[in-house]
Amino acid sequence: MTRHAAVLGSPIAHSLSPVLHRAAYAALGLTAWTYDAHEVDEASLPDFLSGLDASWAGLSLTMPLKRAIIPLLDEVTPTARAVEAVNTVLLAPNGSRQGTNTDVPGLVNALAEGGVTDAASAAVLGAGATASSALSALSGIAKAEVEVYIRNHARDTEVHAIADAVGTAVRIRDWTEAAAAFDCELVIGTTPVGATDDLAESVPTAPGTLFDVLYHPWPTPLAAAWADRGGAVLGGLDLLVHQAVLQVELMTGRAPAPLAAMRAAGEAALAGR
């Protein structure tokens, strides 16, 4: 029987997930597996889910569905519940749906691959679902209070609640002070395209590590300025590959997933854009 998986979101045409998952299937010899992208927003999500049959193994979720999916699930893992973000749904043959989050361990694994396993100081730019995952990842990495830079302070209470749930101490600061984040040993940028462009000129002469979760266009002006000044830079492809590795393992039951093949496929796809 053909097994199906897919990534859902809106917009979705830019997603590299099909490239990564298909590369994994090819390397693992899973010729009966398919992985596609579907344009699905919050309003159409319930109908999409109700149309899935027993041939479906799993779903990857991107914006704006990581929180919208939660009420539609039968089970949510503790990590996903704590950060209020599900990026992976595992579909059982009996129709049950389990939500989990591979962004958190994906962030941890990507940072570890980049040589970052602890940080004396850390900052997060943004307050969305990926920022929540970053706060969870930092619970075992940051050695001090994490600075979180936010534009919309209506989200302050939510950020504090998530930080408490994942065991990360935070200090919320206004976005107008965001350049101060660059004094930290580790900075994780989780904002949309263009949001940090005007901060590029504020990168110090000896920066630490920047993890900018965007991957297209790449490098971002901030990432380019960071690298020019000698800082270590990780990008969105690093996160995407590491979280996708975990998704492949969960959906197919095959481990380890072929990280190198998946990364190569992602790099080739980005180079062709």
Helix and strand tally (H, E) in the chain? 9, 12
Cβ-contact 186, 211 below 8 angstroms: yes
Strands 75-76 and 97-100: parallel
Give the active site residue among 21, 56, 62, 66: 66
Strands 146-150 and 97-100: unpaired
Q: Is 9 helix (H, G, I), strand (E, B) or coil?
A: strand
CB count within 10 Å of CB 210 equals: 26
Indicate left, alpha or beta for 253 from its phi (over 0: left) and psi (-120 to 50: alpha): left
Token output for 221: 């002006």
Whole-number Å distance between alpha carbons of 6 and 137: 25
State phi, psi for 161 to the nearest 5 degrees. Answer: -65, -45
Asked about 66 being catalytic, the answer comes back as yes
Instruction: Determine contact, residues 253/7, Cβ cutoff 8 Å.
Output: no
Catalytically active residues, by annotation = 66
